[in-house]
Amino acid sequence: MKTESMSHRPWLAGVKAALPIAVGYVPAAVAFGVAGRQAGLGVAETLLMSLVIYAGASQFALAGMIGAGVPAPAAAAAALALNVRHVLYGPALAPLLPKLGRGGTAVVAFGLTDEVFAVASALLPGRSVSGWWLLGLEAMAYGAWVAGTWIGAVGGEAVAVRLPGVAAAMSFALPALFVALLMTLLASGPQKASEGETRALRTSAAVGAVVALGAWYVGWDRWAVLMAGLAGPVAGWAWLRRESAHGATRRPERG
Amino acid sequence: MHNELLWLFLVVGVGTYLMRAVPLLMARRPGAATRPPDSSRAREEADGALVWFRLVAPAIVAALLVGALLPPRATPGGWQEYVAPWVAAVASAWTQARWGNLGLTVLSGVVVFGLVTWVI
């Protein structure tokens, strides 16, 4: 089992391991910075979102809902519901993590994003790393996200004034991120899903989309996300129960 | 900064942090890994709760995507308002399927959206 030495090198090794995350984060964070400004937020407000929330999909969603005038409680509920999948990451990663006190674990938990979870899940098995490695990984990812947000928030306004066409094009960053996230969620999720669960996920997404379309059509745009967030899982759950009743749910072999 | 916005960010930020931290701290408790297995019914209920959580996100993201691709109902726009976002969404989906890279997916969508908007 490979062991990292207890020097500053584990921290640097963690930073290096996070480079692919940073490459993906910076353009998305820049896009978020621009989206935040377009939603009417100031530079400080946009930056604060990234500093405090540090969850891309819910930040984009929140910016969109703020811009659309969705009531704050509904926006908060929808944003939190988007992040519910994060409850799965800790238990999945816990056996692989190095020895950390409660304080260290609490610090590490802050940086447990989708991408950090994915990289840690891939790299940690078979390795014995120190807490510094993990901190380096998370610090690099967090730094990239915050820096990208600042660039987008500060530079976005200049771009909007000098290059309005580019600014208009950047407005598609949010939908593009949703496309990426949806496809990732429907593939197999952070942990391997059975065939039945995958179909249930797709049913949930399809019903959510239809409900949102219906809400838009009748002018209930502001409530579309909440309605979809309730109707979709109910439909997905019903599908899963139906599949279980027919004995069609079989888990893939865990390799 | 408006107080309401500050509270909104704090609520979502703290809530997100707790969703990450609490399960991790519970899983790292001494003896958590060697605890006797729960009854099969308890395991089923725990698995069921996890599956429910996983069903919420796709529904919400799909709704957000649909909302982002449609113009506001109040906007008296023409067919052009529908074409660019949907074409760009297809481009983003293709990029994501091909490379699975978040940055590339966002970039491809933005570029295609800009080009289509400029053309039409």
The whole-number pLDDT of residue B76 equals: 54
Whether A158 and A104 share a structural domain = yes
Nearest to A204 by CA among A88, A117, A85, A121: A85
Whether A40 and A150 share a structural domain = yes
Whether A65 and A163 share a structural domain = yes
CA distances from B21 to A128, A141, B11 (A): 22, 18, 15
Q: Tell me if chain A has a CB within 8 Å of the CB of B12.
A: yes
Whether A71 and A166 share a structural domain = yes
The three-state DSSP-derived secondary structure of chain A is CEECCCCCHHHHHHHHHCHHHHHHHHHHHHHHHHHHHHCCCCHHHHHHHHHHCCCHHHHHHHHHHHHCCCCHHHHHHHHHHHCHHHHHHHHHHHHHCCCCCHHHHHHHHHCCCHHHHHHHHHHCCCEECCHHHHHHHHHHHHHHHHHHHHHHHHHHHHHHHHCHHHHHHHCCHHHHHHHHHHHHHHHCCCCCCCHHHHHHHHHHHHHHHHHHHHHHHCCCHHHHHHHHHHHHHHHHHHHHHHHHHCCCCCCCCCC
A119 Cβ partners below 8 Å, 6+ apart? A17, A18, A20, A21, A137
In whole angstroms, give the CA distance from residue A78 to residue A206. 18
Structural domain boundaries, residue A93: 2-184
Whether A84 and A106 share a structural domain = yes
Provide, rounded to the nearest whole percent, the portion of chain B with pLDDT above 90.
Answer: 32
pLDDT of B74 > 60? The answer is no
Asked if A237 and B27 come within 8 Å (Cβ–Cβ), the reply is no
Integer Rg of chain A from CA: 20
The whole-number pLDDT of residue A253 equals: 46
In whole angstroms, give the CA distance from residue A94 to residue A179. 30
Whether A179 and A243 share a structural domain = no
Set of chain A residues whose Cβ sits within 8 Å of the Cβ of B9:
45, 48-49, 52-53
Give me the residue from B16, B62, B67 closest to A58, CB to CB: B16
What's the pTM?
Answer: 0.68
Whether A177 and A72 share a structural domain = yes
Q: Which of A156, A184, A212 is the last residue of a domain?
A: A184
The whole-number pLDDT of residue B34 equals: 43
Lowest mean pLDDT among A251-255, B7-11, B58-62, B89-93: A251-255
pLDDT of B49 > 90? The answer is no
Q: Tell me if chain A has a CB within 8 Å of the CB of B120.
A: no
Whether A121 and A24 share a structural domain = yes
Whether A185 contacts A205, CB under 8 Å: yes
Give me the residue from A66, A84, A237 closest to B57, CB to CB: A84
State the total domains in chain A.
2
The whole-number pLDDT of residue B21 equals: 94
Whether A170 and A220 share a structural domain = no
Whether A174 and A238 share a structural domain = no
Whether A20 and A145 share a structural domain = yes
Q: Tell me if chain A has a CB within 8 Å of the CB of B103.
A: yes
For chain A, 255 residues long, the average pLDDT of each consecutive 10-residue run is 53 86 81 86 94 91 86 90 80 79 89 81 72 90 95 80 72 80 73 75 94 88 80 91 70 46
Nearest to A32 by CA among A137, A158, A176: A176
The whole-number pLDDT of residue B37 equals: 46
In whole angstroms, give the CA distance from residue B117 to residue B120. 5
Q: Which of A160, A184, A208 is the last residue of a domain?
A: A184
pLDDT of B108 > 80? The answer is yes
The whole-number pLDDT of residue A88 equals: 75
Q: Which of A162, A184, A206 is the last residue of a domain?
A: A184
Whether A16 and A71 share a structural domain = yes
In chain B, domain spans: 37-69, 78-120
- How is residue B2 annotated by DSSP? -
Whether A61 contacts A225, CB under 8 Å: yes
Q: How far is CA A106 from the centre of its chain?
A: 19
Q: Is B76 helix (H, G, I), strand (E, B) or coil?
A: coil
Mutate to test the interface with B, among A179, A195, A243 (most CBs of B within 10 A): A179
